[in-house]
């Protein structure tokens, strides 16, 4: 009987301990939810094949969703509200099992941006939306790149490129345009148009100067350095920088001929020779798109994961301030 009493007392004490532990755990969880709420966002879903987030700022509300069911087909949607009225929605889809799927995205961006432009959304609104997405994308990547499918997460870049293409068309009074980024083709960055990527001029000059102190400098780099000495803008657009190594016509020829042929061999129209040639970054079949100096500049530019929309393969962005209301 005494043993039975001891067992009952011990069991009671164990039960009390479990209940206390559960209560503490619950309080801790609730506190975590409150902390997340106070910081303006919360993570709820661990599904690596889907992503959704909401950005609220003033009268603007942006809702983004992205998913894949088979890790081959990807679809996403961005809806923009102003004062609770829906302004526009952009849809995007791609399949990674298609031949040259990366080269096929720039024409889709042009098509989608042309449609958006026809809706005659005011330039000021599109500029606000682009800024909201750009300001918050670092936070999205910080929270999701390690836990979710990277192509699901990076699908937001296509929507930003669509909006930016319309903004460039407004600014220059021309048709929407987008040239696929060579770093995207080499899997160094997520999708971006060359025309929306800018380098800080002073930083680029400093990087080139450091490179030239320890390495032989080719004719193209010398011309670029001479050009930058008299260049008085704070930033230089990527395609203007890249043109010192591969002119626009040669790059367009490379894209056109690559899409026409199923061969991955090196051909006369390759802009920088063969991918297997000495002096080309990496060692791969087909055309070389990046020489060592270009890789050096890319790595140096991305040391601090800036700009956030471009430097994402070899680093994780810092956790920035955000107007995100939720990430799932």
Which tens digit of pLDDT belongs to each residue from 107-123? 999 999 999 999 999 99
- Residue 37: pLDDT band (50, 70, 90) is very low
Does position 10 have pLDDT exceeding 70, yes or no? Answer: no
Does position 24 have pLDDT exceeding 60, yes or no? Answer: no
Does position 38 have pLDDT exceeding 60, yes or no? Answer: no
Per DSSP bridges, beta strands 235-237 and 324-327 are unpaired
- Residue 170: pLDDT band (50, 70, 90) is very high
Does position 63 have pLDDT exceeding 50, yes or no? Answer: yes
- Residue 266: pLDDT band (50, 70, 90) is confident
Q: Who has greater pLDDT, 138 or 244?
A: 244
**pTM (predicted TM-score):** 0.82
Cα torsion for 297, 165, 144, 125, to the nearest 10°? 130
Which tens digit of pLDDT belongs to each residue from 270-315? 888 887 887 788 766 788 998 889 988 988 887 666 666 666 555 5
Residue 3: predicted pLDDT: 47
Residue 121: predicted pLDDT: 96
């Amino acid at each position: 009987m005494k043993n039975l009493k001891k067992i009952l007392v011990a069991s009671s004490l164990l039960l009390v301990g479990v209940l206390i532990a559960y209560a503490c755990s619950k309080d801790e969880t609730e506190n975590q939810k409150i902390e997340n709420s106070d910081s303006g966002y919360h993570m709820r879903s661990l599904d690596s094949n889907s992503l959704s987030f909401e950005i609220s700022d003033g009268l603007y509300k942006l809702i983004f969703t992205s998913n894949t069911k088979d890790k081959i087909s990807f679809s996403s949607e961005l809806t923009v509200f102003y004062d609770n009225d829906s302004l526009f929605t952009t849809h995007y889809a791609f399949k990674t099992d298609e031949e040259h799927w990366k080269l096929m995205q720039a024409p889709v961006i042009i098509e989608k941006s042309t449609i958006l432009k026809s809706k005659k959304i005011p330039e000021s609104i599109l500029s606000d939306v682009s800024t909201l997405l750009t300001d918050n994308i670092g936070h999205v990547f910080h929270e999701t790149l390690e836990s979710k499918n990277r192509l699901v997460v990076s699908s937001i870049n296509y929507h930003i490129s669509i909006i930016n293409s319309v903004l460039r068309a407004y600014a220059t009074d021309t048709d929407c345009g987008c040239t696929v980024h060579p770093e995207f083709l080499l899997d160094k960055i997520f999708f971006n148009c060359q025309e929306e990527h800018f380098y800080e001029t002073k930083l680029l000059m400093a990087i080139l100067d450091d490179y030239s102190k320890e390495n032989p400098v080719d004719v193209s780099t010398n011309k670029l350095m001479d050009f930058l000495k008299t260049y008085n803008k704070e930033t230089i657009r990527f395609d203007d920088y890249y043109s010192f190594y591969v002119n626009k016509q040669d790059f367009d020829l490379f894209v056109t001929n690559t899409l026409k042929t199923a061969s991955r061999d090196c051909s006369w129209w390759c802009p920088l020779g063969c991918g297997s040639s000495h002096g080309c970054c990496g060692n791969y079949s087909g055309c070389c798109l990046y020489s060592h100096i270009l890789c050096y500049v890319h790595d140096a530019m991305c040391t601090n994961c800036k700009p956030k929309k471009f430097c994402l393969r070899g680093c994780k962005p810092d956790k920035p301030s955000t107007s995100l209301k939720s990430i799932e």
